[in-house]
Amino acid sequence: MKAATADESPEQGAPANRYRIEALAKGLDVLRLFDETTTALKLREICDRTGIPMPTAFRVVATLEEGGFVERLADGAIRPGVAVLTLGSAALRGSSLAQLSEQPLRHLAEATGETVNLGVLVGDRVLYLARLRNSDLVTANIQVGSTLPAPYTSMGKLLLAYLPDEELRATLAGHDFSGGAGPRAVRSVDELAERLAAIRDQGFALQDEEVAAGLRSVSVPVFGRDARPAAAVNIAVSTQRHTVDDLRGPLLERLRRTAEDISVRLRAA
């Protein structure tokens, strides 16, 4: 058997990258552990899954935490932080889901004259993949790549409603319900669970000044080939322009047609 040269990997016999930065590679290995099904891990689990020694893993996680790329929950578990969610906003804008949704969302925005959004659940936050904004909306600072706490948003509540109870409580284990939110926001996971049960039954979620005073929205799911929603879409309005009944009526019907259009495109892709 041919011995590996200085420019080859001993394990695979493949050329090694002489520009490789091992510390950076280890950090990326840690971030790659997280996906739709793995949203939080203990440090020992990170070591076991990556093969990184505990002292090194501790330093890697501490460095990522300092930069906001991961955050530590109350029980010591590690999950992706806001920095890693927003890092890929340019890529998200060009993702297949965002691209497939662009035309239906634009038609919805033009038909209603209101702000429309597309989002996915990442941990206990909603990540905005697409946003077409009406100029008079309260939350002017939200853009593609922004995140909001899922328990207070219509898209977040809708997507949380499809999680099994055990997964829901694990997802919200580190969420601080005493933090800043709108005047009608839920204040505990038990209060939220009651609202989620109603959302599952009715198939849509309302948000009435839970994110911020003066803001309402209604959200419905977008489905791909799985039973769990691939994303959510919503219409966000000013309380001065629309009542809650408006959101339950014609706006909801238009939103549902848009979601079905996106779902059909997603399943056919």
CA end-to-end distance (rounded Å), the chain: 46
Decide which of 50, 85, 120 is a domain's last residue: 85
Could you tell me where the beta strands, DSSP code E, fall in the chain?
Answer: 70-72, 78-80, 115-122, 125-132, 147-149, 205-208, 215-222, 231-238
C-beta separation of 128 from 116 below 8 A? no
Look at the alpha carbons of 146, 152, 157, 158 in this order and tell me if their dihedral is positive or negative.
Answer: negative
Q: For residue 144, what is the DSSP state? A: T
Chain segment 155-214, per-residue pLDDT in tens:
999 999 999 988 999 899 888 888 778 888 999 988 999 899 999 999 999 999 999 889
Whole-model pTM: value is: 0.68
Q: Does 97 have pLDDT greater than 80? A: yes
Decide which of 85, 112, 136 is a domain's last residue: 85
Tell me what pLDDT residue 7 has.
41
- How large is the angle between the packed helices 189-202 and 154-161, nearest 10 degrees? 80
Q: What is the C-alpha to C-alpha distance for residues 264 and 269, in angstroms, rounded to an integer?
A: 9
C-beta separation of 198 from 162 below 8 A? no
Q: What is the number of structural domains in the chain?
A: 2
Task: Domain of residue 125: give its range.
Answer: 88-268
Q: Does 6 have pLDDT greater than 50? A: no
Query: What is the percent of the chain where pLDDT is above 90?
Result: 54
CATH number at residue 32: 1.10.10.10
Same domain (yes/no): 110, 216: yes
